[in-house]
């Protein structure tokens, strides 16, 4: 999508949130950020993450960012910058994101409301729902809803899972200890032991359930 088409498609209310974030970033001494630079960076993000932030399944599965908690996005961008979260693509991308861009980007992405990507397996969704709502006490697996909320939309630094791509949830839970929470500066480290206790079938079940949520 070209820059002109993108500008026409940006909702004014959503972009107002980004502009508000730019103001707060400047207030915190992170320096002014131009509207044009934020527009360009949003367009750049949506090239990979989908035109509505809905995620994309290709050679690499790109996660849904639409509706994600702003504090979570901010924390993860800092984690990529500082090497606490390992992903060669994103560690390269964040070199072009200045500190003053992070909050407005996060606020804009939070404003998006894409439908779930869909297309993933549905088998096991019933088990996934049970794990999400009540956990598996005998396996020392707590209910996902305790932290992520009954609607799976997260809160503050706890991420939204509702509508996240099946393949991304599966990969993330499978590789959690290797890729996330390297030094525990945010809440990501909490998930490492939970992910280790989930079997591949249980991971698939949780992914099937949360990927269907709106």
163-176: per-residue pLDDT in tens?
999 999 999 999 99
All structural domains of the chain with their residue ranges: 3-111, 125-210
Confidence of residue 181 (pLDDT cuts 50, 70, 90): low
How many whole angstroms separate alpha carbon 141 and alpha carbon 196? 10
Q: Does domain 125-210 have CATH number 1.10.760.10?
A: yes
Assess whether pLDDT exceeds 50 at residue 70.
yes
pLDDT confidence of residue 111: 96
DSSP code per residue over the chain: --HHHHHHHS-HHHHHHHHHHHHHHHHTTS----HHHHHHHHHHHHHHH-TTS--EESSSEEPP-TT--HHHHHHHHHHHHHTSS--HHHHHHGGG--HHHHHHHHHHHHH--PPP---S--TTHHHHHHHHHH-BGGGTB--THHHH-TTS--BTTBPP-TT--HHHHHHHHHTHHHHS-SS-SSGGGGHHHHHHHS-HHHHHHHHHHHTT--
pLDDT confidence of residue 179: 81
Mean pLDDT throughout 134-147? Answer: 95
pLDDT confidence of residue 199: 96
Look at 30 and 67; give whichever has higher pLDDT. 67
Closest listed residue to residue 137, CA positions, set 209, 203, 208, 194: 194
pLDDT confidence of residue 54: 97
Mean pLDDT throughout 121-146? Answer: 96
How many whole angstroms separate alpha carbon 68 and alpha carbon 110? 5
Look at 14 and 102; give whichever has higher pLDDT. 102
As a CATH number, domain 3-111 is 1.10.760.10
Mean pLDDT throughout 179-203? Answer: 82
Mean pLDDT throughout 178-190? Answer: 71
61: phi then psi, degrees, rounded to nearest 5: -80, 120
Closest listed residue to residue 45, CA positions, set 88, 109, 112, 115: 109
pLDDT confidence of residue 161: 98
Mean pLDDT throughout 121-142? Answer: 96
pLDDT confidence of residue 144: 98
The model's pLDDT over 5-47, given as tens digits with 9 standing for 90+, comes to 444 344 444 444 455 445 454 444 456 788 899 999 999 999 9
Q: Which of 13-27, 72-86, 100-114, 140-154 has the lowest mean pLDDT?
A: 13-27
Strands 61-62 and 56-57, sheet pairing: antiparallel
Confidence of residue 86 (pLDDT cuts 50, 70, 90): confident
Tokens coding 129:
């729902």
Closest listed residue to residue 75, CA positions, set 51, 96, 52, 105: 105
pLDDT confidence of residue 17: 47
Within this chain, domains 3-111 and 125-210 share the same CATH topology? yes
Confidence of residue 189 (pLDDT cuts 50, 70, 90): confident
Compute the mean pLDDT over every residue in the chain, rounded to the nearest whole number.
86
Which residue has tokens 């990501």?
Answer: 188
pLDDT confidence of residue 23: 47
């Amino acid at each position: 999508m070209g820059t002109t088409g993108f500008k026409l498609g940006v909702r004014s209310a959503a972009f107002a949130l980004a502009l508000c974030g730019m103001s707060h970033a400047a207030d915190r001494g992170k320096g002014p950020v131009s509207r044009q630079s934020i527009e360009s960076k949003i367009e750049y993000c949506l090239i990979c993450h989908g035109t509505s932030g809905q995620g994309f399944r290709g050679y690499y599965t790109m996660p849904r960012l639409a509706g994600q908690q702003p504090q979570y996005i901010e924390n993860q961008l800092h984690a990529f910058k500082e090497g606490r979260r390992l992903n060669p693509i994103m560690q390269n991308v964040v070199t072009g994101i200045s500190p003053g861009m992070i909050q407005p980007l996060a606020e804009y992405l939070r404003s998006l409301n894409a439908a779930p990507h869909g297309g993933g397996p549905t088998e096991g969704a019933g088990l996934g729902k049970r794990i999400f709502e009540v956990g598996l006490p005998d396996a020392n697996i707590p209910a996902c809803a305790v932290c992520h909320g009954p609607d799976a939309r997260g809160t503050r630094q706890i991420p939204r899972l509702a509508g996240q791509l099946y393949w991304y949830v599966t990969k993330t839970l499978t590789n959690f200890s290797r890729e996330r929470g390297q030094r525990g500066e945010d809440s990501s480290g909490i998930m490492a032991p939970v992910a280790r206790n989930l079997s591949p079938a249980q991971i698939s079940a949780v992914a099937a359930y949360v990927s269907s949520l709106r």
